[in-house]
Amino acid sequence: TSSLTMNTTTMEYTLETCLEKPKHLIGLRLGNYSHVTKSELVDEYIEMEPGGHLRPQNCKPGQTVAIIIPYRNRSSHLHILLHNLIPFLTRQNVDVTFFVIEQAGNSTFNRGALFNVGFLEVEKFHRFDCYILHDVDIIPLNDHNLYRCSENPRHFAVAINKHNYKLHYESYFGGVVGLIREQYLQINGHSNLYIGWGTEDDDLLIRVRNKNLTMVRYDPLTARYDMIQHDRDVGNAENPMRLTLRKSAARRQDVEGLNTVTKHYQVLDMKLETLYTWITVSLNNSG
Ligand code: UD2
Ligand code: MN
């Protein structure tokens, strides 16, 4: 059902603003984990526009959303994620663009730095209202979990299968988070210093709280996810420095992060594909 209104002076139809909570949401469902190829996705989702842009056809969206996915060597997870997210976001009437930020080579993976790189590179296309920072392997199950930003930073991935659909711990901030552009700038993004697995998500919440921002969550039934089961990747070993680094999180916040990431990376390639904008970067994890 589209919501057209006619302006009786100009005799033109204008689209009405999308409802905050669309009527055709369906609630909790199982994820779809069947194997799917990139070309099958391209064939299935003809509504995708170059660079991975999806937008509501029947109403005017309230905000523009960028979904940033840190990535290396997880194509099957990426395809499953898109297979679930595209119909999910369509039902939610989200104006969204997908960005995959791929770390090149075999330097140790740095999830935090990749989000900072993603934010800066995405800004060159468009200043999105809302940035959703999304693991490649985690599937939202309830479309009442609205992929939008509000005045407070949101932790989306509250209840994950691997933690029996319960919040892992009170200050857990992993998996999927969302912030408006101004807030990501205000907190100076992620730390770039977490090289390898772990604790960069805790550091991010320390940054949020240190700027007196309040993190919000939906209830666990709404914010329910499945993480596709996987082993630890080669090149993403547990970071032995992670707990030491966390102790200085607040002190480092303003001097290290989004404002210093430019010295850590180079863009090697950028492609506007049907399903996403793909940005390949080399990271040097020193200093
Ligand atoms: C947990 C958190 C995650 C992050 C991580 C610690 C959940 C659901 N997720 O994930 O947010 O805090 O711990 O760093 O609790 N990736 C690649 N290729 C690689 C390595 C990583 O694409 O070789 C990306 C991918 O988007 C992946 C994410 O980094 O989802 C996190 O890595 P993980 O899934 O291996 O770590 P996990 O599940 O322990
Ligand atoms: Mn994972």
Distances (CA, A) of 5 to 2, 15, 58, 59: 10, 7, 11, 11
What are 28's strand-pairing partners? 142
- Annotated active-site residue 135? The verdict is yes
How much distance in Å is there from the Cα of 30 to the middle of ligand 1? 22
pLDDT band at 21 (very low <50, low <70, confident <90, very high): very high
Pairing relation of β-strands 265-272 and 224-227? unpaired
Ligand 1 neighbourhood includes 198 CB (under 6 angstroms): yes
pLDDT band at 5 (very low <50, low <70, confident <90, very high): confident
Pocket test for ligand 1, best of 76, 111, 134, 238 (most atoms within 8 A of CB): 111
Between helix 200-210 and helix 111-123 the angle, nearest 10°, is 60
Q: Is the pLDDT of residue 248 over 80?
A: yes
**Residues 54-69: what's their mean pLDDT?**
97
The verdict on ipTM greater than 0.90 is: yes
Catalytic residue chosen out of the listed positions 95, 102, 121, 135: 135
As given in the structure block, the two tokens for residue 127 are 């200043």
pLDDT tens digits along 138-154:
999 999 999 999 999 99
What span, in angstroms and rounded, lies between the C-alpha atoms of 6 and 1? Answer: 16
Ligand 1 neighbourhood includes 236 CB (under 6 angstroms): yes
How much distance in Å is there from the Cα of 3 to the middle of ligand 2? 40
pLDDT tens digits along 182-205:
999 999 999 999 999 999 999 999
Which-ligand-closest: CA of 106? Answer: 1
Pocket test for ligand 1, best of 103, 107, 115, 135 (most atoms within 8 A of CB): 135
Among candidate residues 265, 267, 113, the one with its CA nearest the CA of residue 194: 113
